[in-house]
């Protein structure tokens, strides 16, 4: 064996432990910089943040008036009284086409076309106030749905012609206006029965909260 080859072999053996130790340090150092502790993470929003988001949530299948604030008022009134906001939209569309200042020849006023006596009966002092009108009109719809055991057609007939007329004729009164009214709105709403629900039940039944919040509410 030549001296040169012997020398190279000697130095290779001598520094092998140093090389291995250096490699160990390098591996641990790079492992540290790419450890999960330093890696970016995606965390779920806290419940409070999801609750705030839920306050502005409107399901995509609920009709829109074109005014998001108005749509939120309708949704919250529906939730408050356990009435499907889709049903409320169908009534408002037929009654006023979302015109806040609407007034009929018979004296019905506002978005839900409340007669003065009906407005007072359900706590509305200003029929042209959007929130007050919708609150009273939705409360009246809830009353009618309860009175007629969730029968949408009879509730609508009562809304248009008065519950006394429905009682008198034991069904939808034989008035062309009322019969057309019922036919048009049930066609838009697409349902002939409506469950009688608490606000908590309505949130789930009518899918009024984001999916995550619905799961939490159900639990």
Report if pTM > 0.85: no
Q: Which of 95, 163, 211, 216 is catalytic?
A: 95
pLDDT for 52: 44
Q: Please list the alpha-helical segments (H only) found in the chain.
A: 3-33, 47-55, 68-81, 85-96, 116-121, 130-147, 152-161, 163-169, 176-189, 199-205, 211-218
Question: What CA–CA distances, in Å, run from 78 to 20, 24, 151?
Answer: 72, 66, 17
pLDDT for 17-45, tens place per residue? 444 445 444 444 444 443 444 444 444 44
Report which of 48, 71, 99, 68 is spatially closest to residue 216, judged by C-alpha positions: 48
Residue 138 CA to residue 140 CA, distance in Å, equals: 5
What is the predicted pLDDT for the residue at 211? 75
Q: Where are the domains of the chain?
A: 47-212
Number of Cβ within 10 Å of residue 204's Cβ equals 14
CATH level 3 topology of 47-212: Lysozyme (1.10.530)
One digit per residue, the tens of pLDDT, for the chain of length 219 reads 444 444 444 444 444 444 444 544 444 444 444 344 444 444 444 544 445 467 889 999 999 999 999 999 999 999 999 999 999 999 999 999 999 999 999 999 999 999 999 999 999 999 999 999 999 999 999 999 999 999 999 999 999 999 999 999 999 999 999 999 999 999 999 999 999 999 999 999 999 999 755 545 555
d(CA 73, CA 135): 9
> Hey, how many other C-beta atoms are within 10 angstroms of the C-beta on 53?
14
Q: Is 216 one of the catalytic residues? A: no
Q: To which residue do tokens 């006394």 refer?
A: 164
């Amino acid at each position: 064996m030549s001296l040169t080859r012997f020398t190279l072999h000697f130095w290779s053996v001598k520094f092998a432990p140093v090389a291995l130790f250096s490699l160990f340090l390098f591996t641990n150092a790079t492992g540290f910089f790419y450890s999960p502790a330093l890696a970016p993470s995606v965390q779920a929003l806290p419940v409070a943040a999801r609750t705030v988001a839920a306050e502005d949530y409107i399901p995509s299948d609920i009709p829109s008036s074109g005014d998001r604030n108005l749509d939120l008022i309708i949704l919250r009134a529906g939730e408050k009284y356990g009435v499907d906001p889709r049903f409320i939209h169908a009534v408002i569309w037929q009654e006023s086409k979302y015109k806040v200042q609407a007034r009929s020849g018979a004296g019905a006023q506002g978005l839900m076309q409340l007669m003065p006596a009906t407005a007072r009966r359900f706590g509305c002092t200003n029929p042209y106030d959007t929130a007050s009108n919708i609150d009273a009109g939705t409360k009246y719809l809830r009353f009618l749905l309860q009175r007629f055991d969730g029968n949408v057609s009879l509730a609508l007939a009562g809304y248009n012609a008065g519950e006394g007329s429905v009682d008198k004729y034991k069904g939808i009164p034989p008035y062309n206006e009322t019969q057309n009214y019922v036919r048009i709105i049930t066609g838009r709403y697409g349902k002939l029965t409506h469950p009688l629900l608490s606000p908590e039940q309505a949130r789930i039944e009518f899918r009024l909260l984001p999916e995550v919040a619905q799961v939490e509410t159900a639990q």
